[in-house]
Structure 1
Amino acid sequence: MKKLLILAVCSMLVTTAWTQPKKKQSGNPILEGWYADPEAVIFGKEYWIYPTFSARYEKQVFFDAFSSQDLVNWTKHERILDTASVKWAKRAVWAPAVVEKNGKYYIFFGANDIQNDQEYGGIGVAVADRPQGPFKDLLGRPLIDKFHNGAQPIDQFVFKDKDGAWYIFYGGWRHCNVARLNDTFTGLIPFADGTTFKEITPEGYVEGPFMFIHNGKYYFMWSEGGWTGPDYSVAYAIADSPFGPFKRISKILQQDPAIATGAGHHSILNVPGTNDWYIVYHRRPLSETHADHRATCIDRMYFDEQGLIRPVKITTEGVAPQKIK
């Protein structure tokens, strides 16, 4: 009798778990825990988010990743990369940028928060066979380890142009550079004029660069304000080339004092085959004052008839399910 009772309870538990409905709306935040600087990408028919673990610098020694088939229900993949696999990285592992090339997955990251050229650290790159890792250090050293044109080597974004060339945009301390990556992501290729780092800093730039192409135009985006304060926000420019010139148009993401503060350091998703666009970003809940209490959120992004980005309305509802066909 006891055995039958146990079997019956187990059966009920299995049935309950199997029939439990999934979320119908993502809600915001979309990830549990404190995560910032989200890099949202699409691999195959899955959405992925690679954020910074938002904590004190000494505790920022790893990355988690999150995957979803519908933008609403997310699966956590723990410690896809940590400093045990990157011997030169000691702390402040930040703002991953992840791309796929020839069946391999590459994660670019900042580490150590270097303050000058005498400190060791900067932007590194690691590689894996799967988007969930595990990732291993590709070079055994930073890819970019010095200040060029005044740009702190952090907050990298990797961009594939229409002609197949790969570029890395990066920079803190109110300066942004672009450099061209070689085919193996092990080094940089000088431009035709002999320079390796071109400064493309637009007005108001602080950090967190991002680029995408829409209707043949290059949309360059960045974060403004201070990351610990309510004025953190996102602005953008449009150009005919990935090198600009980028003339600031306006802010498109900022706090709503009724919902959350410090909305910034974002990425953009366009669902393949559609005109559906999403912005993935972090913000600080109204109940929180700690600098590291940042949460990853998602909202819709729209363009007007001229191709300008409409100001984003940040929400608590988030988005509805969206599968990749």
Structure 2
Amino acid sequence: MLHHFSLCRPALVLAAPLLLAACQSQSTQQTDAAATTPEAKADSTGGKPKFLSKPLVSDIYTADPSAHVFNGKIYIYPSHDIETGMPENDKGDHFAMRDYHILSMDSIGGKVTDHGVALDTKDIPWAGRQLWAPDAAFKSGTYYLYFPVKDKQDVFRIGVATSSSPTGPFKAEPKPIEGSFSIDPAVFTDTDGKAYMYFGGLWGGQLQRWATGKYNANAAEKKPDGDEPAIGARVAQLTPDMKQFAGPVKEVVILDSLGKPLKAKDNTHRFFEGAWMHKYQGKYYFSYSTGDTHLLAYAVGTSPAGPFTYKGVIMKPVQGWTTHHSIVEFKGKWYIFYHDTELSNKTWLRNVKVTELKRNPDGSIVTITP
């Protein structure tokens, strides 16, 4: 989950040749006054900004959408943004979310159902604060919800909760996943049945504090930005029960076109947070946010653990500082779920959206551009 910086960026106009129909919730009960009366917004010329689609729901703020198809239906596992009144800072303390709501939809452009609270911080025995971007998976009749939350020592760990229903409620395991750290878990199950978790995020996500393999509370809050190799996301195979790591945590390496690892200072290409994995025509597409340059980028490899070669930009900056996505195939088409700040114009109060993902004949992704 993208989570930092103190000021909203100016609104950007997003448009694309092929747009999906608006994906608007049919809910009429508005529980968040700010969501029903968003601030007026304008671009730098004084005109109204344009967006690729409408927010999927408007009665609550949602972000970091993790979309999955279960039983022929789309389920979305987002963060639930709330207004806390906390001052903004680079550690993301103002992103003080407390619970998750799960959304579902039978079709793109159709009605979106909010299934209510599926997991709350108070029901996680080891949790302290800040319930950030989750993900979900299914295996052998059980649904798994993976979540990052700071423990009682204010260190981000990743936990798992289970349910017999994709909408919960979910029951959290009594302890975090052993060896887990940082944020943004994304679980990918390969065609051979093996499951992998990708995770990590810089700055407030604390990934830079784990550079030596052990937590360093005195490490700089921000990322390195020199000629050294960029800090990569992490990946670990999951155990058959989907609740622990089956082996060591490894770094995800992204290479440039010459086969050299991306440098830390290359903030238009290197990983920052918000990892996602999908497979297309036998190749592994590792996608992620570049953070402070506000791009969704991707790299391609022949193994789920990498290395991956950088290929390009999936989506250029949206309105708001943060960007976070998921990619899913549904009824023969590919879609990208993402968020912006159309409803609030505040970077910590976001709304999830969806639009179609297009590819070129060679499998490369067509950039969604302003």
**What is the TM-score normalised by the length of structure 1?**
0.77
Backbone CA RMSD of aligned residues: 2.3
* Paired AA for residue 65 in structure 2: P
Equivalent in the alignment of 2:106: 69
> Structure 1, residues 215-252: CA drift from partner, whole Å, max 9, x if none?
111111001123xxxx4220001111111111211111
Matched-pair contact (CA < 8 Å) for 1:252–1:309: yes
Task: Show the 5 A alignment for 1:216-255.
Answer: 216-226=282-292, 231-255=293-317
Question: What per-residue deviation string (whole Å, max 9, x for no partner) do you get for residues 244-292 of structure 1?
Answer: 1112111111226xxx3446210011014x1x1110001122971x321
Partner of 1:197: 249
Instruction: Give the secondary structure class of the aligned counterpart of 2:352.
Output: strand
Percent identity reads 33
Query: Which has the larger strand fraction?
Result: 1
> Cα–Cα, structure 1 residues 201 and 89, in superposed 2: closer, same or farther, change >3 Å?
farther
Which one of 281, 296, 300 corresponds to residue 215 of structure 1? Answer: 281
Q: CA 1:201–1:284 in structure 2 vs 1: closer, same or farther (change >3 Å)? A: farther
Do structure 1's residue 182 and structure 2's residue 239 form an aligned pair? yes
Q: Could you tell me which residue of structure 1 aligns to residue 63 of structure 2?
A: 36
What is the identity, as a one-letter code, of the residue corresponding to 1:238? V
Equivalenced residue count is 268
Separation (CA, whole Å) in 2 of partners of 1:91 and 1:66: 23
Structural mapping, 1:309-324, within 5 Å? 309-313=365-369
Q: Which has the larger radius of gyration?
A: 1
Runs of at least 4 residues off by over 4 Å = 56-59, 118-121, 144-147
What is the deviation of 1:25?
A: 3.6
Matched, 1:45 2:72: yes
State whether structure 2 residue 198 is matched by structure 1 residue 169.
yes
Give unmatched runs, 5+ long, in structure 1: 1-23, 148-152, 191-195, 315-325
Q: Aligned equivalents of 2:178 and 2:170: distance in 1?
A: 19
Cα 1:311–1:71, aligned 2, differ >3 Å: closer, same or farther? Answer: same
Which residue, out of 101, 123, 139, partners 2:158? 123
Q: State how far apart, in whole Å, the 2-side matches of 1:286 and 1:67 are.
A: 20
Correspondence for 2:341: 284
Letter in 2 for 1:66: L
- Partner of 1:265: helix, strand, or coil? coil
Higher RCO (CA-CA < 8 Å; seq separation 6+):
2
CA distance in 2, matches of 1:262, 1:87: 32
Q: Give the match for residue 99 of structure 1.
A: 137
Query: 8 Å contact 2:76–2:103 — kept in the other structure?
Result: yes
Specify whether residues 158 and 134 from structure 1 end up closer, same or farther in structure 2 by C-alpha distance, changes over 3 A only: same
Q: 1:253 to 1:263 in 2, by over 3 A?
A: farther
**Distance in 2 of aligned mates of 1:121 and 1:308:** 34
Partners of 1:94 and 1:120 lie apart in 2 by: 13
Deviation at 1:206, TM superposition (A): 0.2
Among 90, 97, 107, the alignment partner of 1:60 is 97
Change (3 A) 1:102 1:146: closer
Tell me whether 1:296 sits opposite 2:348 in the alignment.
no
* TM-score w.r.t. length of structure 2: 0.68
